[in-house]
Structure 1
């Protein structure tokens, strides 16, 4: 068993490794002398770190001799990141699927796999299924546990304790309903877990430092990125747009309130609303297609959903002031019919606080968005450790 002193030494060595990796990710290739300058590590320490990273296959030494400007004498070889070494692994344990994404140190995705599952499968079963998928990737050489600096797991309907958000000297608290031990055994690098929609938002961040990400599907989920970082709140449930009331006299919600947005615009209820108005559709996709072809009932129901969504979005955006709102999930197939009420409300709003610009758009369905965002979060979280 590791003592606290052993763990502290491992943490120091890890920070040294990350300094080397950050330099190579930034510059592409570096000589050992340049790495000394970049990392401020001693030659002895750097040599040990480089030797171990090469042995693990994380970095390679180029056969091409590299001359820096103004250099003479014996040429020096360049070190570079191994593009096939997976730096971070993202896993989504969703309601209907499990997906895994492997990301390189340069941010490129080197592997993706997914598996459809029953919505009735308990979290413990999802963890075991994900472990089986990981084992297959490891056995096939698509994941090298030695090169992995961290893993992130997105879990549907679970929010972590904000006081326990990632592995450090102590392990992050496991989610209610399952242990993540099977995943940690396969990938011993540090792990973090969070709500799957929250991590999926990272895949849509791009250059947006302030983003409201909303998924309209079997339920309604959302996440907030503020100043480039995920917002979790004091209790870990920040960004629950679905529980903003759009009608105080509306139906009771399981959360204890009345008229919550989620009670109205989820897949089942939108299809039920269309049936009550006189026409049944088998899926949201069929209904969206009918709306695009001019079906009056489909158009009216999509507009009705858009009006309700606009009420919640306006309340949220006054508080959060995001530069970008992204609507994803099955209901996003309604496109402009769903977005137009919110666009209109934004154009009419005048708070006399200066120029305002909030982009509203839909996102195409991406079954790996949750695991892609989780991998990005893992890479970002543990490479930022070099700054601490």
Structure 2
């Protein structure tokens, strides 16, 4: 195994994944666990996962990707979709589990964007937005070929862009956010309120694929909000490309066909219409690769994350 392998961790509202990632982007010892619902159990699960993956190996660094918001100065996370974690000292916990190596913390959306830009569907893009459509909606920006986390590390939070001030409440405390419409649980909730009897986004996608009217309408509603967020971001950042991953993106054309239809209608400016939208080519490993890439780069003196 690569002696410069990084221990990479990707923490989301549904799962926690870990793996050893080489400088060539190869993932070894990949393991996952469901995200527990209490702070104590999350900490225990994370410790068990990292200890197992790193057993007998001395990683050169640790890269942490977490849902946010983040506080990079304190090394803490307060994920909107993990209510049990508020100001959780994630960097300190990782440093305690794997002592003596540098620890890099990035948002999960930034990590997914960096991973896709490094080894996936974002290769060659000068300006791109990575989006994770899952339990929540995460996002990360690559501008001028380098990740742009912003001063606080929280740039790219497209999920909490308001697309309808009169819309439904969002878990962040605002109303009408992209996430309140387009996340898996939000689309499921919208469908259930209209009589759909399924329980999860995977079933909703399957029913939409069979033409079930409420399921089809749920994806139409969700992708319209997502398209509005993408158009707003492309207008601000002059994007070449948008790469969409996360569990809900596995629905394929059930998600992408209505999304592209709404984008075609909503994007009116020429430089916005040139933005292309692609499905992630890395799937569930995008966040791990991005966390590893961020750690590899920050361990090199003077090299910014995502360069």
Q: Flag whether TM exceeds 0.5 (same fold).
A: yes
CA deviations 1:9-29 (Å, max 9, x no partner) are xxxxxxxxxxxxxxxxxxxxx
Q: How far has the Cα of 1:352 moved from its partner?
A: 5.2
Q: Which runs of 5+ in 1 are unaligned?
A: 1-82, 165-171
Q: Distance in 2 between matches of 1:276 and 1:127?
A: 35
Q: Distance in 2 between matches of 1:282 and 1:336?
A: 21
Q: Distance in 2 between matches of 1:203 and 1:134?
A: 20
Match of 1:291, SS state, is: helix
Q: How far has the Cα of 1:314 moved from its partner?
A: 0.8
TM-score, normalised by the number of residues in structure 2 = 0.80
Select 1:335's aligned residue among 252, 263, 274.
252
Match of 2:167, SS state, is: coil
Match of 2:226, SS state, is: helix
Q: Distance in 1 between matches of 2:34 and 2:270?
A: 49
Query: Does residue 95 of the first structure (1) align with residue 7 of the second (2)?
Result: no
Q: How far has the Cα of 1:90 moved from its partner?
A: 0.9
Q: Distance in 1 between matches of 2:38 and 2:91?
A: 16
Q: Distance in 1 between matches of 2:167 and 2:268?
A: 29
TM-score, normalised by the number of residues in structure 1 = 0.65
Instruction: Indicate the residue corresponding to 1:11 in structure 2.
Output: none
Query: Does residue 131 of the first structure (1) align with residue 47 of the second (2)?
Result: yes
Instruction: Indicate the residue corresponding to 1:183 in structure 2.
Output: 94
- Structure 1 pair 367–278 and aligned structure 2 pair: CA distance change class (3 A): same
Instruction: Indicate the residue corresponding to 1:26 in structure 2.
Output: none
Instruction: Indicate the residue corresponding to 1:157 in structure 2.
Output: 68
Q: How far has the Cα of 1:324 moved from its partner?
A: 1.5
- Structure ID, larger Rg: 1
- Structure 1 pair 182–272 and aligned structure 2 pair: CA distance change class (3 A): closer
Q: Which runs of 5+ in 2 are unaligned?
A: 78-86
Query: For 1:32-51, what aligned pairs fall within 5 Å after superposition?
Result: none
How much is the aligned-residue C-alpha RMSD, in angstroms? 2.9
Q: How far has the Cα of 1:373 moved from its partner?
A: 1.8
Asked whether the equivalents of residues 30 and 53 of structure 2 are also in contact (C-alpha less than 8 Å), the reply is no
- Structure 1 pair 222–128 and aligned structure 2 pair: CA distance change class (3 A): same
Match of 1:379, SS state, is: helix
Q: Distance in 1 between matches of 2:174 and 2:303?
A: 44
Asked whether the equivalents of residues 86 and 102 of structure 1 are also in contact (C-alpha less than 8 Å), the reply is no
Query: For 1:1-388, what aligned pairs fall within 5 Å after superposition?
Result: 83-118=1-36, 120-122=37-39, 125-139=41-55, 141=56, 143=57, 145=58, 148-161=59-72, 164=73, 173-175=75-77, 176-178=87-89, 180-185=91-96, 186-205=98-117, 206=119, 207=123, 208-344=125-261, 346-347=263-264, 349-351=267-269, 357-363=274-280, 366-383=283-300, 385=302
Match of 2:5, SS state, is: strand
